[in-house]
Structure 1
Amino acid sequence: MRILVTGATGFLGGAAARALARSGHDVIGTGRDLERGAALEAAGVRFVAFDLHKPPSPLLSRLDAVLHCAARSSLWGRWADFEADNVAVSARLACACAQRGLRLVHISTPSVYNATGLTRQVPETASLGPRFDSLYARSKYRAELEVRFHLPDATILRPRGLYGPGDSSLMPRLVRALRSGRLPRLSRQEVHTELTHVQNVVHAIELALERPAAGVFNITDGVSVPIWATLNRLAGALRVPRPTRYVPAKVAERAAALLEGLYRLSPGAPEPPITASGLRLLTRPMTLDLTRAREMLGYTPVIHPEDGLNEVIAAL
């Protein structure tokens, strides 16, 4: 199969492009990081530096499928940027795939559920909007709508809490917070959530390409993990103090919201050291219903979270 992978210089896109190439597929990866592009070439992926804000037609000739991983993935930023990078790019790509009869696997996020108030076994059919937890979540939901409008047969995957070798977001953020010594304990009770090892998402992508199924699919490791116990393990691996000073979550979220407001007064300001949506990831439990993925894609996680987290902790 000849497959285009967008965002191939990113964490998930790179892992997927390499895995697909190892499986014998003819893989073309796009991105704007030339150094990482060279590493992809060495792994058997043909790299093409390309700006997805331009019409994608030059990339789509003689393809069988497109895996769209590229996105602005951040808890901070301007709506105009999220709309341009996540909504408009996804719409343009889905429309082009529909015109050429190409299979499309689109990577979205369970962040779209954050404002629903649902916490246990959240299904893909959960009612979403009009309010969202972050501009990122809102943009990804809008992107999903565009994809389903232009290409109803597309497969949309929502992996939660991506981690693993090469992770540049989740674990590095937690490590920085622990090393700073400023992360308080935000809940007296344990909080259970689900994460997704990058190889489990790659496995789901391979299944979606091999046995197409239309619609949205939750993807996780399939086993919940205790957030604060995991942070304690990370602190032990880093040889830094565990978070013990208790601050009520609502107090911390209000402080973070105030800080965000101050940062927005300065155009072009960097991301604040804390954001309200970032804190909520540590204080609100969530598990996802994987029934659709299991039944329609044949998805079964290939990496258990205990093994995946042990791998990350050993690397630290």
Structure 2
Amino acid sequence: MSDDIKISIRHLYKIFGPDPKGALEHVHAGTGKAELWENHEHVLGLRDINVEMMAGKITVIMGLSGSGKSTLIRHLNRLIEPTAGEVWVNGENVLDFDQKQLRRLRRENMSMVFQKFALLPHRTILENAGTPLEVRGYERKDWEDEARKWLARVGLEGLDDQHPHQLSGGMQQRVGIARALTSNADVMLMDEAFSALDPLIRTDMQNLLLELQEELHKTIVFITHDLDESLKLADHLVILKDGAVIQQGEPQKILLKPNDPYIVDFISDINRARVLRVRSVMEPLSEARGPMAGDVDHNDNLEGVIALSEGDTNLCYRVVKNGEPVGVLSVKELVRALVPSAASDEGLRAKAS
């Protein structure tokens, strides 16, 4: 396993029912989710999942209700036992762990942020944030400063003695994030962590997460059913349907080259100008280029370039990264990228083979 791969999921299957091993034989023979339930009364939760999650990056697992995303994340710390497959974390197969090793994994290596906050109502904000270290046996005097540090970092300084019911939903979720950070775990599991929040608060929390990630470089596994949220947060995007991976990769590439009609439908209503980045549609530098209308950053969205160009498709811009030229963006190519594409021939051929 590469040093950069933090979590590796290999040929993972989960079947719910009285005889999952027997049902797995039908799945291997080609039985789908609907047929497995109709003919054998077993539920196919996950089907041959293969995903590698890179250290220090955000992997977003997205899908509609029933796609298997929450089932998948619960396999990483073995809250759910698989029917078949492997889950490797830091070069060790979690499925080989005994109870002592599992407790250490859950307490020290992985933290979890829940959709419904999961705060203890009778404990103060400080006590909730310090729970991971208290569970490990630390005395209060040894975890208070650490908990206060992370409460301040998420914008809750001075609220130590408040209780969860005294806070808004967004503030409660900030406590949940502070609690996860207090644990000092290098992996954060976030299961629909922002789904219960109002849109404006949700945006604030997404921005906070990205800000923290820029500083801390955690390995984050984020579950969501929201495509806009996925495109904003993901370094690596995994799209599930009926327990199987339909497509995975860098979000910009999925937008430009969807490999399945399901993905095409999913992204059809996206504001492509707002989510596509200059780096995804720029061309290599060339000495033959004519005059440039100016510089744009490789990570700017196309919406900003359209405004800058005032719609003039004859313009070209030099693309820079950290002040250095890395490419050229033609406004004509930009406009072509805004036209939604059908599923790529390569993707469809791969599915047929």
Q: TM-score over 0.5 for the alignment?
A: no
**Range class of TM-score, shorter chain:** under 0.3
Larger radius of gyration: 2
TM-score norm. by structure 2 comes to 0.25
Structure whose residues are more often strand by fraction = 2
